[in-house]
Amino acid sequence: MNSEEVKFQGIAGEDAVIEEIHIAAPAERVFKALTDQGELVRWFTCTTGPVHQWEMEARAGGRYRYFISQETASANGVQAFECHGEILEFDPPRVLEYTWIADWHADKQRGTVVRWELVEDATGTHVKVTHSGLASEPLARKDYRGGWTGVVTMLKSFLEKRSDGVIAP
């Protein structure tokens, strides 16, 4: 896989969306970007509206929450997007897994699961994100196909940006 490309794995049995990307950064650095609320608010954002809040209690059993409003987009009639959940697995710098309860899902109480897997290699880190439990959320599952591509691309851009603001080659 070219280090610039996001590999969309598709839908696993209509239950999961899987994305993979290579990032030119050590696994510890990638894991920090995924778990530090000060970093999350800087990169896990949206171009159509501001992040109002990012909270992350980075430990197994910890909680997280974010709130984003979008002026130009909506899903299931929602424009103020809130997501929260509990961290199920916390194994730095290899695995981060958490429940994902989103107010834009058809069933706003149904939890899905997001799992980040990091494998360091000689040139950086292979990142795989799997969002599962989506079989009963066809509209959300369709939106996540492009959504997770955008998320991993923002993560890559954030981590590969040089101090002068230019994306490293």
Per-residue pLDDT of the chain (169 residues; tens, 9 = 90+): 444 555 544 445 679 999 999 999 999 999 999 999 999 988 987 666 667 788 999 999 999 998 876 655 545 455 567 889 999 999 999 999 999 998 877 787 889 999 999 999 999 999 999 999 998 888 888 888 878 898 999 999 999 985 555 555 4
Between the CA of residue 89 and those of 13, 98, 120, 149, what are the distances in Å?
Answer: 23, 7, 19, 23
| Bridge partners for 161 per DSSP | 167
pTM, 2 dp: 0.83
Tell me the C-alpha distance between 43 and 34, whole Å: 9
Task: Report the pLDDT value the prediction gives residue 8, as an integer from 0 to 100.
Answer: 46
Quickly name the fold that domain 7-160 has: Alpha-D-Glucose-1,6-Bisphosphate; Chain A, domain 4 (3.30.530)
